[in-house]
Amino acid sequence: MMDPNDIFYLAMCGIILLIGVVSLRAFGGLSSIALILILLAAVMILALNWVDFVVFPLFTKMFSIIVQPAKDYTIVTSHDALLKNVGGLYYATGYVTGNLFSYAFKEETEEEGVESQMIQSADKWERAIMSLDFPFKFHVLSVGRDVQKIRDELEGKRSYQEFQLARALENEKASSETATIDIRRQIAVIQAKIDRISAGEKPVSTIMYFETTAVGVSEKAALDQLTTQIKQLQISMSALNLSLSRVAGRELYSLFKFNFSIPLTSDEISAEFSIEG
């Protein structure tokens, strides 16, 4: 879901494109070229909004842009690894996303078999670790959310579902039985979440990621070793049913900064990872 900031920036930059489409006649016989250019710009803007982690590394690689985020550290041109040179040895660090579970308070549907997954998780985690012979870190960045706000949101959703149910019951003949069952199930899920908050459980947002470091006598050796390690990490952790993808682009810089200072508020985290929320 897009946050209001994203919508604002999209609208601001989209104005030019819209006016351009309306004023195509101003380009006379070359209006078709103008339309193609406007469409290309629209595609670029949308790509930057949704898949900037693909577009930005392509750009930095194409123009061989190297970034130095701090003394002794460099971000490579592909923008998917950090390098540090210590006494002639290169240490390459890369990150992999690894969200263990979906955001419980964002999801409307309760996952089935959660309990059995939780029972198996300890063994799976230990087996995964034992199969790895290189250093890595698994980070869980958590931030507590406003309990009252979440409760209000949930109560609003419950009221809406109850209204839907009342309407479905009124038109009992028209609506199918499965529709009412589905609405009742949704209400039960929302109620269970409200009960969990009432029982003292705190809603939290989490960002989970892996970090691994490889060493080599040259930049290439370190980066190749890092790629091998990341692949091994992805294979070993796949048993935990994680979504594992290598971090590239601006998020790499954010995660690098987290090593030395954690964001102070949930808004700061949202600004860094708008998609994750």
Which residues ranging from 133 to 162 are in contact with other proteins (CB under 8 A)? 133, 135-144
Region binding other proteins by CB under 8 A among candidate stretches 158-166, 167-175, 236-244, 254-262: 254-262
Interacting positions 169-228 with other proteins (CB under 8 A):
201-204, 206, 213, 215, 217
Q: How far apart are CA 105 and CA 154, in angstroms?
A: 9
Is residue 49 part of the contact set for other proteins (CB under 8 A)?
yes
Tell me whether residue 140 or residue 166 sits nearer to other proteins (CB atom).
140
Structure tokens at 133: 């012979």
Tell me whether residue 1 or residue 264 sits nearer to other proteins (CB atom).
264
Are the C-beta atoms of 98 and 230 separated by less than 8 Å?
Answer: no
Tell me whether residue 142 or residue 241 sits nearer to other proteins (CB atom).
142
CB of 143 to other proteins, least distance (A): 4
CB of 123 to other proteins, least distance (A): 5
Is residue 69 part of the contact set for other proteins (CB under 8 A)?
yes
Interacting positions 20-39 with other proteins (CB under 8 A):
20, 23, 26-30, 33-34, 37-38
Q: How far apart are CA 276 and CA 251, in angstroms?
A: 11
Tell me whether residue 172 or residue 267 sits nearer to other proteins (CB atom).
267
Q: How far apart are CA 275 and CA 107, in angstroms?
A: 15
155-190: b (≥16 Cβ within 10 Å) or e: eebbeebeebbeebeeeeeeeeeeeeeebeebbebb
Q: How far apart are CA 214 and CA 35, in angstroms?
A: 48
What is the DSSP pairing of strand 136-144 with strand 204-216? antiparallel
Tell me whether residue 161 or residue 229 sits nearer to other proteins (CB atom).
229
Distances (CA, A) of 190 to 159, 164, 206, 257: 10, 14, 20, 37
CB of 125 to other proteins, least distance (A): 7
Phi, psi (degrees; rounded to nearest 5) at 214: -120, 155
Region binding other proteins by CB under 8 A among candidate stretches 151-159, 164-172, 189-197, 256-264: 256-264
Which residues lie closer than 8 Å to 13 by C-beta, 6 or more apart? 45
Q: How far apart are CA 32 and CA 35, in angstroms?
A: 5
Identified binder of other proteins from the candidate list 1, 62, 122, 174, rule CB under 8 A: 122
Q: What residues does 263 pair with on adjacent strands? A: none
Tell me whether residue 132 or residue 165 sits nearer to other proteins (CB atom).
132
Is residue 18 part of the contact set for other proteins (CB under 8 A)?
no
Identified binder of other proteins from the candidate list 58, 65, 194, 275, rule CB under 8 A: 65
CB of 75 to other proteins, least distance (A): 9
CB of 20 to other proteins, least distance (A): 7
Tell me whether residue 158 or residue 263 sits nearer to other proteins (CB atom).
263
Q: What residues does 213 pair with on adjacent strands? A: 93
Are the C-beta atoms of 210 and 99 separated by less than 8 Å?
Answer: no
Tell me whether residue 126 or residue 195 sits nearer to other proteins (CB atom).
126
Is residue 93 part of the contact set for other proteins (CB under 8 A)?
yes
